[in-house]
A = this chain, B = another copy of it.
Amino acid sequence: MSNNVTTTEKGPARSRAATRSAATPPAGEIGLGMLPELIGYHVRLAQMAVFADFERSLGTLDLSPGLFGLLVIIEANPGLRQIQLAAAARLDRSTLVPALDKLEARGLVERRAAPDDRRSNGLFLTRPGAGLLQRAKAIVRDHEQRIAGALSAEERAVLVRCLDRLAPEVRES
């Protein structure tokens, strides 16, 4: 099996690549080789497209996808310690610090000294933080409908189940 130069496998033999070995491949006919056969390639493109919409949507509130995720987790777990939040968000604890600094500087999140262990901080949403998050969640639900609008509820469920089954060995964490 040789590589496809174009995406189509069959069809009449085009003018051979060798015929124009030093020439420029015509625009619009640039092949991607084996890349479209790789699931990771499609996952990456989907990620880029979904995140572009996500970022543009939340940009209204000056929130990144990452900061939004932190707010959601803090809301679901009031009093969470930084190290626990880092684990839940799959970040290093040092990565979390500047992110929380931003949220705290904007008055959305509060670090309260933990009563039982003075090394730790308990994390809480402030009232403005909770309010902003409610608006953000509404925006994110709109985003979700926009990006997945072409898929039925069943297709979405299948998609998520397939995604969750990818690279199981890497996920033992």
Contact = CB atoms under 8 A, between A and B. Distances in A.
Contacts of A3: 75-76
Q: How many copies of the chain does the oligomer comprise?
A: 2
Contacts of A99: none
Interface residues of A, number: 80
Contacts of A78: 17, 21, 25
A129 to B, nearest CB: 14
A156 interface: yes
Given A46-B166, A65-B40, A164-B46, A79 B33 contact: no
B114 A24 contact: yes
Interface of A: 3-5, 17, 20-25, 27, 30-35, 37-54, 65, 69, 72-73, 75-81, 84, 87-88, 90, 112, 114-116, 120, 122, 137, 140, 143-144, 146-148, 150-151, 155-156, 158-160, 162-171
